[in-house]
Copies of this chain bind each other. A is one copy, B any other.
Amino acid sequence: MSDRLAITYRLTCSPGEAPEEKARGIALEQTVELPADCVPAEVLESVVGRIESLEADGDRHLARISYPAEAIGAELPQLVNLVFGNISMKAGIRIEEIGWPPSVLESLPGPGHGIDGLRRLCGVSESRPLLCAALKPLGLTGGELADLCRELALAGVDIVKDDHSLADQSWAPFDERVTLCQHAVAEANRESGGSTLYFPNLTGELGDIRGRLDLIRRAGCRGVMLSPMVLGLQVVRALADMSELAIVGHPALTGSFFAPDHGIAPEVLLGDVFRLIGCDGVVYPNVGGRFVLDRRDCLAINQRLRGPLGDHRPAFPVPGGGIDTARIGEWTERYGPETIFLIGTSLYRQADLGAAARALVAALGRKVRNGS
């Protein structure tokens, strides 16, 4: 098993479907795409997935199937394909866990900064969660967004990040927005002695992304946000390889994988995968907000981002939704200090954005002084 990829699937069988057959079908589908009797014996032995275990779990089954790392080669797209390519089109298959082989762990960059590095970038040495505010809405001008940046930075928010819908629209073109917002944050830091960071949303056609990355660096930003499922996982991995910027991953488009009986467990996709391709922090929709993840999912994502994963640095969970001044202490107790709390709506609901942000910063500080 030393260099095999071991995937645990939860199988939901339809009437008349045998779990053994379903597991065998997966092992074949994800490798040779042929029935076993059409496959040469040596290929069957060396290439096709091997069923390591199959057990009942209530009215479902858990199948653990291992694949030779050789079936991946050294590239992320084929890894993704092997994990869920064709079986995404079969019913009743959900990936619950992936045991990553050393060769895969070593071939992927992982977080370039990790929790400690991102904390250092933010100038936060004490053990407390970081506070990240989303810059919105789409439709404001670059100047208006920069004004918000200034208020949020002066209030002492650790990170101000673009909303993920801020791309390169005419209301606030990318170059102008990034330049103005970063300038506003830097100026506010000079005035206040603070160290707020601005993370723009990096998106764009393939031919434009590298130029935008250069502009972000030249402007003086220390990190970016991007959406791995929208951009392509290997695009993000390449950006992680070529840049020293911190990366916060956004979950746009991932929700399709989170069906109860189909897809990939959120902690595997947002936890393991996003961390492996280079995210230092991963945004997810917090339980109790307007999205589908539940309490268990959120805790599992936190655990996977922070826990052991080869030699890779831990990454920050970045829960967003349902976090406000009244509840930030409770969330800090639940999620612990190695968390970035993402605040959006609860800030913009207040008439005075700066005051609302200061109240959040103060509430987080009180919590810390109280010892949590």
Chain B neighbourhood of A87, CB < 8 A: 255
- Partner among B78, B90, B136, B164 whose Cβ is within 8 Å of the Cβ of A203: B78
- Partner among B47, B204, B259, B290 whose Cβ is within 8 Å of the Cβ of A259: B259
Chain B neighbourhood of A362, CB < 8 A: none
Q: Tell me whether A99 is interfacial, beta carbon within 8 Å.
A: no
B137 and A89 form a contact (CB under 8 A): no
Chain B neighbourhood of A252, CB < 8 A: 81, 85-86, 88
Per-residue interface assignment for chain A, residues 250 to 289, with 1 indicating a CB less than 8 Å from any chain B CB and 0 otherwise = 0111111111001100000000000000000000010000
B31 and A137 form a contact (CB under 8 A): yes
Chain B residue at minimum C-beta to C-beta distance from A25: B290
Chain B neighbourhood of A208, CB < 8 A: 75
Q: How many copies does the complex hold?
A: 2
Instruction: Give, as a whole number of angstroms, the nearest-CB distance from A24 to chain B.
Output: 12
Per-residue interface assignment for chain A, residues 310 to 351, with 1 indicating a CB less than 8 Å from any chain B CB and 0 otherwise = 000000000000000000000000000000000011001100
B293 and A89 form a contact (CB under 8 A): yes
A85 and B253 form a contact (CB under 8 A): yes
Q: Tell me whether A56 is interfacial, beta carbon within 8 Å.
A: no
Residue of A72, A171, A256 with most chain B CB atoms under a 10 A cut-off: A256
Can you sample 21 A-B contacts with CB below 8 Å?
A: A29-B290, A31-B165, A32-B136, A34-B137, A35-B345, A38-B345, A38-B348, A40-B137, A71-B165, A73-B168, A75-B205, A77-B230, A84-B253, A84-B256, A86-B255, A89-B258, A89-B292, A90-B291, A256-B256, A259-B259, A259-B262
